Structure 1
Amino acid sequence: MAKITVPLTDSEIKNAKSKEKEYCLFDGEGLLLRIKPTGSKLWVFNYYRPYTRKRANISFGKYPALSLAEARKKRQTAKELLAQDIDPKEHRDSEKASKKDALLTTLSAVSKEWFEVKKKKVSPITATRIWNSIETHILTDLGEYPVTKITAPKTIETIKPVQAKSSAELARRLCQRLNEVMNYAVNVGYLHANPLTGIKAAFDSPVVKHHPTLKPEELPELMKAINYASIKIVTRCLIEWQLHTMSRPSEAAGARWEEVDFKNKLWVIPAERMKMKKEHIVPLTDETLFLLERLKPISGHREHIFPSHGNPRKPTNSETANMALKRMGFKGRLVSHGLRSLASTTLNEQGFDSDLIESALAHQDKNQVRKAYNRADYIERRRVMMEWWSSQINIYCSQRHDNHG
């Protein structure tokens, strides 16, 4: 006849005294209370492992911290797992490991891992701006959440106030950067899928603010203003250099003599100075080479083509051309970055190949086949276009390069 186990009572457990040797009180269905010589009482569940059918024990916790009723709940949970052929001990160890992993894969921790990779691909200033935006607007609220617990609704709720207080553009950038972080988490195995794909649809589209620029028919007015402006020679040449080369203000202002290949008539801007971190080659025309010849007596012995007036060992500020254009009466009508738009509009109106124009502007080409083709053939085709553009500018320079400044 099978032995019947009488369930334990709270008073029985409370009054149980320690003995010289360890002994157990049985509650039935595998649950027992192990009482040690020290007087400590430990709840243990004894069971058969799935598949192997070997006996095993799993500790539930100490009494009285874990009451009889709570121990029985744990026994029931363990029995439910066993009914599904899940080992309770292995299940508990797996959950502990998951919780430990969760602590190591918080959004804050993963963002820092991602940033270590990201900052190598952008300039130090851009890297600082990216991290500050994430730290300020995202990690303050979501940083301690494991990436597995980050959801689209929770993230949208966090970014919404940013859009209201700051701008739609900042909200868009935060969506973009968070998606990069979560894609990184997927790639390294922290997540199975990125839950934030498409969250930008929850926000207003940023209003595109174009840089003020002139119409092609206003080019004569600009060249006349440059010719008669009371500005330094270096500044005058910088503005014309930007106009002829279609380069960005920072790229032009930071130009170095070592970047100029006089033999092949090329200006080779290294990747680290480019917005897209890709080397950019600009075919030089007779007009741009003339500008360089004019600057040689001034800065030919220095590192930078356009040296700073205050410290010639450093390049001029990228805002120098902007300030000069304002003084020349173009405030609100034209900024130095708008010189690129002026060139682009003029060349497009003249029917030049849009791919050549985009290449001249150093816009990123997502077509991989065309990118390879650009390198080999576009330089010479661009040279023809750039020579036309320089000659067009030159038409309105009847008094160019006078002795003003």
Structure 2
Amino acid sequence: MARTVKPLSNTQIHQAKPQDKEYNLPDGDGLALRIKPSGSKLWLFNYLRPYTKRRTNMGFGAYPEVSLADARRRRADARVLLAQDIDPKEHRDAQIKLQLEANELTFERVINQWFEIKKASITPGHAEDVIRSLNKHVIPQIGKVPVHKITAPMVIETLRLLAGSGKLEAVKRVCQRLNEIMVYGVNTGVVPNNPLTGIRHAFQSPKAVNNPTLKPKELPQLLKTLQRANIRPITCYLIQWQLHTMTRPGEASGARWDEIDQEQAVWVIPAERMKKRREHAVPLTPQVNEILKALEPLSGKSPFLFPSDIDPRKHANASTANVALKRMGFHGRLTAHGMRSLASTTLNEEGFDPDVIEAALAHVDKNSVRAAYNRTDYLKRRRTLMEWWSTHIDCSWSVRHPTPLTTGSLGERRNGGHVSQHFGG
């Protein structure tokens, strides 16, 4: 018959004195308080390990930090696990390991893991913008916080400074990116749920602002201002190039010489540089070829048509044309992206097929069959459209001015006053 153990009392524990050798005060069901010669009092739980059936001790902590009531609760929890053939010590060690790993898995680490996947599906320029916004507005403040401890109030407080500066569009984009990161965390099992759902509703919504653009009748004014602008020749050609090709700022500023196929008279932009991640072919008009000839002595030794002024090994910044247009007096009236709208409006008013215009603008057709048709037939039709557009740009200038559009005052000074590099052929 098993010996009955009388449960311990707090008084008994408190009065227990150290002896020459350590000894145990049993509480029953495997729980005992070990008194050491040094005077320390440690809780131990003795049990049979599942499967091996070997006895072992599991420490529950020291008294009085762990009270008698706490020790008994831990014994009860351990016995529940043993009833399921789970070793309580192994279970505790596994939980501690998980907790340590969770604390080491910071928000910054998860952001970087997500970004490695995200950047493969967006253009390099967009990827740079994404990680820059997170490095500026999120990571310095809460990047070191374990991802499982990230909360909506914490993130909202982090973004209040950005919102307070009136940059509501930036707040909206950061909130979208943070939600994507947390969805990634849920899908990879690092967090059980997304605590940031709906955080954008904690801020005012930005007012919808379209990229400003000129009316078709204002095109001659743009061309006249461009000729007189005191800007770098490369920048002037970049604006001309984007206007003629109807491409996005990032696509135009990152144009490479090895993307130009002179034999086929086409500029092939690879999928990784396109917003919609699909290769885009731009027919080269005679006017665009004239721009290429003018660029050869300026950037022919660089991989890029429009190399950076700071580092020739890199291409011009996507915002270069925008900055120049602002300096030219078009702030609030026209952006580099708005030149696409100017072309689209003009071509639609002239009665060109809207589908061909959309294809020229690289707007992805969601109908895969129709998209395949675009790649074959539309290229021929787009060449006709692009040639009309380039000729229209020429005419918009020459109707009012007998001389061709040049690179502007800098270009004239570079050539000793003689205009040899012109816009429009």
Normalized against structure 1, the TM-score is what? 0.77
The Cα of 1:327 is off from its aligned counterpart by 6.9
How much identity, in percent, do the aligned residues show? 53
Could you tell me which residue of structure 2 aligns to residue 177 of structure 1?
177
- Write the mapping of 1:145-294 to structure 2, written as runs, cut at 5 A: 145-152=145-152, 154-223=154-223, 237-270=237-270, 274=274, 279-293=279-293
SS of 2:163's equivalent?
helix
* C-alpha contact 1:106 1:144 (8 A) present in aligned 2: yes
Could you tell me which residue of structure 2 aligns to residue 102 of structure 1?
102
Q: Given residue 28 of structure 2, which amino acid in structure 1 is its aligned partner?
A: G
Could you tell me which residue of structure 2 aligns to residue 15 of structure 1?
16
Measure the CA separation in 2 of the matches of 1:31 and 1:280.
74
* C-alpha contact 1:268 1:280 (8 A) present in aligned 2: yes
Moved more, 263-272 or 49-58: 49-58
Q: Given residue 213 of structure 1, which amino acid in structure 2 is its aligned partner?
A: T
- Write the mapping of 1:137-148 to structure 2, written as runs, cut at 5 A: 137-148=137-148
Moved more, 175-184 or 127-136: 127-136
* C-alpha contact 1:249 1:336 (8 A) present in aligned 2: yes
Q: Given residue 387 of structure 1, which amino acid in structure 2 is its aligned partner?
A: E
Q: Given residue 404 of structure 2, which amino acid in structure 1 is its aligned partner?
A: H
- Write the mapping of 1:246-395 to structure 2, written as runs, cut at 5 A: 246-270=246-270, 274=274, 279-293=279-293, 298-299=297-298, 301-303=300-302, 304-305=304-305, 330=330, 332-363=332-363, 373-395=373-395
Q: Given residue 162 of structure 2, which amino acid in structure 1 is its aligned partner?
A: V
Measure the CA separation in 2 of the matches of 1:307 and 1:142.
37
Moved more, 261-270 or 35-44: 35-44
SS of 1:214's equivalent?
coil
* C-alpha contact 1:23 1:34 (8 A) present in aligned 2: yes
Q: Given residue 269 of structure 2, which amino acid in structure 1 is its aligned partner?
A: I
Measure the CA separation in 2 of the matches of 1:15 and 1:310.
78
SS of 1:172's equivalent?
helix
- Write the mapping of 1:52-67 to structure 2, written as runs, cut at 5 A: 57-63=57-63, 65-67=65-67
* C-alpha contact 2:123 2:274 (8 A) present in aligned 1: no
Query: Do structure 1's residue 401 and structure 2's residue 395 form an aligned pair?
Result: no
The Cα of 1:357 is off from its aligned counterpart by 3.0
Moved more, 25-34 or 38-47: 38-47
Q: 1:3 to 1:354 in 2, by over 3 A?
A: same
Aligned residues: 403
Q: Given residue 242 of structure 1, which amino acid in structure 2 is its aligned partner?
A: Q
Measure the CA separation in 1 of the matches of 2:34 and 2:235.
88
The Cα of 1:133 is off from its aligned counterpart by 3.2
The Cα of 1:343 is off from its aligned counterpart by 0.4
Q: Given residue 216 of structure 1, which amino acid in structure 2 is its aligned partner?
A: P
Q: Given residue 25 of structure 1, which amino acid in structure 2 is its aligned partner?
A: L
Measure the CA separation in 1 of the matches of 2:189 and 2:154.
22
Measure the CA separation in 2 of the matches of 1:242 and 1:5.
89
The Cα of 1:355 is off from its aligned counterpart by 4.4
Q: 1:62 to 1:370 in 2, by over 3 A?
A: farther
Normalized against structure 2, the TM-score is what? 0.74
* C-alpha contact 1:224 1:396 (8 A) present in aligned 2: no
Measure the CA separation in 1 of the matches of 2:315 and 2:87.
69
Measure the CA separation in 2 of the matches of 1:143 and 1:230.
44
* C-alpha contact 2:124 2:272 (8 A) present in aligned 1: no
* C-alpha contact 1:212 1:338 (8 A) present in aligned 2: yes
Q: 1:40 to 1:249 in 2, by over 3 A?
A: closer
Q: Which runs of 5+ in 2 are unaligned?
A: 413-425
Moved more, 176-185 or 347-356: 347-356
* C-alpha contact 1:231 1:324 (8 A) present in aligned 2: yes
SS of 2:24's equivalent?
strand
SS of 2:138's equivalent?
helix
* C-alpha contact 2:147 2:191 (8 A) present in aligned 1: yes
SS of 1:43's equivalent?
strand
